[in-house]
A and B are shown apart, each in its own frame.
Chain A
Amino acid sequence: MPTVEFSPSIDSRPTYAPLKSHGSAPAIMVADTAGADALLDLMASDSAVTDKAQIVLIAPASDKLARMDLMVKTPVHTTPDLDTAGPLVRQLLSTARMGTQMYLAGSEGMMGALCALATACGLPMDAIQTEHRGTAARRMQCVHCKGITEDVTTDPFECSHCGLTLFVRDHFSRRIGAFQGVCVDAETPGLIPTTQEIRP
């Protein structure tokens, strides 16, 4: 899958770069099925990167899992979705030591959620690399009810918790790992701009 070009935006908006090997440092790698290609590219660039790596694939397509299994010596963990990946990643972080690198690849929503989880466990931001692959869907937090809506692909969208129509901002909370959604018709109730697909 080709990498997505994001349009320039405010500093708050996360940017992504291809994963770069930190050699054989202890590592935690997490990817969804689109991101698995980025991990495979990383491993092809430096096979030592998996020497002390724990690898988690979220809902991987079977061909990707098979390719990954061929690349690494340790078993690859798989989880059916992000919700089940969270506790597993948290457990890996709980025994990790300083020097551990985190490699995340895939959707913005997944990477945002896991970055927030990892920093809450003490991993500094500069030990985390992120490479975007796949969907441009966003993980959005409603600034009014604080509920999170996953996989938002349109602007505006309806908050899945409180039902307000929310405007998709580029303002990103690293602590929460989500973009901020703000009521689009607060000043002019009922006057809602036409729905557009989110541009990367």
Chain B
Amino acid sequence: MKKLTLRVAEITALSPLVKRFRLIHPDGAPLPLFSGGAHITVDMPEGDLIRRNSYSLVSNPYDGAGYEIAVRREDRGRGGSLYMHTRVSEGDLLTVSAPKNLFQLDLRARKHVLIAGGIGITPFLSQLHQLDILQQPYELHYAAHSRSEAAGLTLLPDAPHIHLHISEEGSRMDLGAILDGQPLGSHVYTCGPDGLIRAVADQAARLNWPTSAIHSEAFTAPPPGEPFEVTIASTGQHLRVGADQSLLEALEAAHVPVDYSCRGGACGRCETGVSACNGQILHHDHWLSPDEQASQTKIMPCMSRFKGARLELDL
């Protein structure tokens, strides 16, 4: 996987909990361009552990002068965002992946309806640049608890097709009103908590939207949890997965190669067979079907954990 070593040029607080990091090439060389909705994976080394989280790019996809990501501090997370908030300073070098996109715009659409909840605004920030350049019609609905939590606010233009829904101020997002009566050829994109993604999909289905016009991305980082053990079937090796470590990170630390891309349970790349399972796989991915999850014969190590006596991976 192609990696880039970039310098942190600037850190800006966008809200009390969200910081924006601007990354540039140390020699000032141009970076690969990307497309709206793309993300990069950031390496966060701590001791002999490397944690990796993916963050959506929020900068202009056509501008190779730098990449910008916005990171929300999750105090109850596994420490990835805390690392970014407390350990990374301007001038530091970070190793990141080249941009990848699992949430691109469907450019056949006649109109794009973008729905963001909280920090789920991030992929849309790069998409807005792309939509403006392509001059494609869109509207954005951005829901947040309070104005001070709406970190994207400072990065959004004040335009009539950008709608803010602040629940603290009593302006809740009405999905029925947003989706009903949209012109033929509209596509809807949702990024935010699972509940919002489900609510948009349900509402669109009730209005008979075809599924090809409904897109979403969950922006989750791997959750922490109780430590657990896994066995590698081919070697009999036992690995311990720490509370603040994902299974994928534990496999990487033990030099057991597993392919990955999103590290957020969305792309399917890290899918791994389970050859024995005595206990409960805690599936946190958006990749496996409910039936596959229930069968406990596959696991997505970037997100999912385990509770029980024995989990053997077909590796």
Q: Is the CB of B34 closer than 8 A to any CB of chain A?
A: no
Report yes or no: B213 in contact with A98, Cβ–Cβ below 8 A: yes
Q: Give Cα distance in the complex from A99 to B210, angstroms.
A: 7
Using known A-B contacts A97-B184, A100-B184, A121-B184, determine if residue A126 contacts B210 with beta carbons closer than 8 Å: yes
Report yes or no: A98 in contact with B212, Cβ–Cβ below 8 A: no
Q: Is the CB of B208 closer than 8 A to any CB of chain A?
A: yes
With both chains docked as a complex, state the minimum distance between the C-beta of A48 and any C-beta of chain B, in angstroms.
13
Q: Is the CB of A127 closer than 8 A to any CB of chain B?
A: yes
Q: Give Cα distance in the complex from A122 to B213, angstroms.
A: 10
Main secondary structure of the interface of B (DSSP, over half): loop
Q: Give Cα distance in the complex from A22 to B209, angstroms.
A: 11
Which of A93, A99, A121, A122 is B209 in contact with, Cβ under 8 Å? A99
Q: Is the CB of A147 closer than 8 A to any CB of chain B?
A: no
Q: Is the CB of B207 closer than 8 A to any CB of chain A?
A: yes
Q: Is the CB of B183 closer than 8 A to any CB of chain A?
A: yes
Q: Give Cα distance in the complex from A161 to B181, angstroms.
A: 43
- 20 contacting pairs across A/B (C-beta < 8 A): A25-B208, A26-B208, A93-B184, A97-B184, A98-B179, A98-B183, A98-B185, A100-B208, A121-B185, A122-B109, A122-B110, A122-B183, A122-B184, A122-B186, A123-B184, A124-B185, A124-B212, A124-B213, A126-B210, A127-B210
**Residues of B147-162 contacting chain A, CB below 8 A:** none
Report yes or no: B110 in contact with A97, Cβ–Cβ below 8 A: no
Report yes or no: A99 in contact with B208, Cβ–Cβ below 8 A: yes
Report yes or no: B212 in contact with A125, Cβ–Cβ below 8 A: yes
Q: Give Cα distance in the complex from A121 to B182, angstroms.
A: 14
**Residues of A74-127 contacting chain B, CB below 8 A:** 93, 96-101, 121-127
**Residues of B83-123 contacting chain A, CB below 8 A:** 109-110
Q: Is the CB of B211 closer than 8 A to any CB of chain A?
A: yes
Report yes or no: A101 in contact with B208, Cβ–Cβ below 8 A: yes
Report yes or no: B183 in contact with A124, Cβ–Cβ below 8 A: no
Interface residues on A, range: 10 to 19
Chain B residues closer than 8 Å to A98, beta-carbon distance? 179, 181-186, 207-209, 213
Q: Give Cα distance in the complex from A21 to B282, angstroms.
A: 39
With both chains docked as a complex, state the minimum distance between the C-beta of B114 and any C-beta of chain A, in angstroms.
15
Q: Give Cα distance in the complex from A26 to B185, angstroms.
A: 15
- Closest A residue, CB atoms, query B211: A126
List 3 tightest A-B contacts by C-beta distance, closest first.
Answer: A122-B185, A99-B208, A126-B210
With both chains docked as a complex, state the minimum distance between the C-beta of B311 and any C-beta of chain A, in angstroms.
38
- Closest B residue, CB atoms, query A22: B208
With both chains docked as a complex, state the minimum distance between the C-beta of A181 and any C-beta of chain B, in angstroms.
27
With most chain B CB atoms within 10 A of its CB, the pick from A25, A96, A99 is A99
With both chains docked as a complex, state the minimum distance between the C-beta of A17 and any C-beta of chain B, in angstroms.
16
- Closest A residue, CB atoms, query B109: A122
Q: Give Cα distance in the complex from A97 to B185, angstroms.
A: 8
Chain A residues closer than 8 Å to B212, beta-carbon distance? 124-126
Chain A residues closer than 8 Å to B211, beta-carbon distance? 126
| Complex interface bits, A123-135 against B, C-beta within 8 A gives 1, otherwise 0 | 1111100000000
With both chains docked as a complex, state the minimum distance between the C-beta of B243 and any C-beta of chain A, in angstroms.
43
Chain B residues closer than 8 Å to A96, beta-carbon distance? 184
- Closest B residue, CB atoms, query A127: B210
Chain B residues closer than 8 Å to A124, beta-carbon distance? 185, 210, 212-213
**Residues of B200-215 contacting chain A, CB below 8 A:** 207-213
- Closest B residue, CB atoms, query A93: B184
With most chain B CB atoms within 10 A of its CB, the pick from A93, A98, A126, A127 is A98
Q: Give Cα distance in the complex from A98 to B184, angstroms.
A: 5
Q: Give Cα distance in the complex from A118 to B213, angstroms.
A: 15
Report yes or no: A123 in contact with B183, Cβ–Cβ below 8 A: no
| Complex interface bits, B188-231 against A, C-beta within 8 A gives 1, otherwise 0 | 00000000000000000001111111000000000000000000
Q: Give Cα distance in the complex from A185 to B181, angstroms.
A: 53
| Complex interface bits, A59-81 against B, C-beta within 8 A gives 1, otherwise 0 | 00000000000000000000000
- Closest B residue, CB atoms, query A119: B108
Q: Give Cα distance in the complex from A98 to B186, angstroms.
A: 7
With most chain A CB atoms within 10 A of its CB, the pick from B179, B212, B213 is B213
Chain B residues closer than 8 Å to A100, beta-carbon distance? 184, 208
Chain A residues closer than 8 Å to B185, beta-carbon distance? 98, 121-124
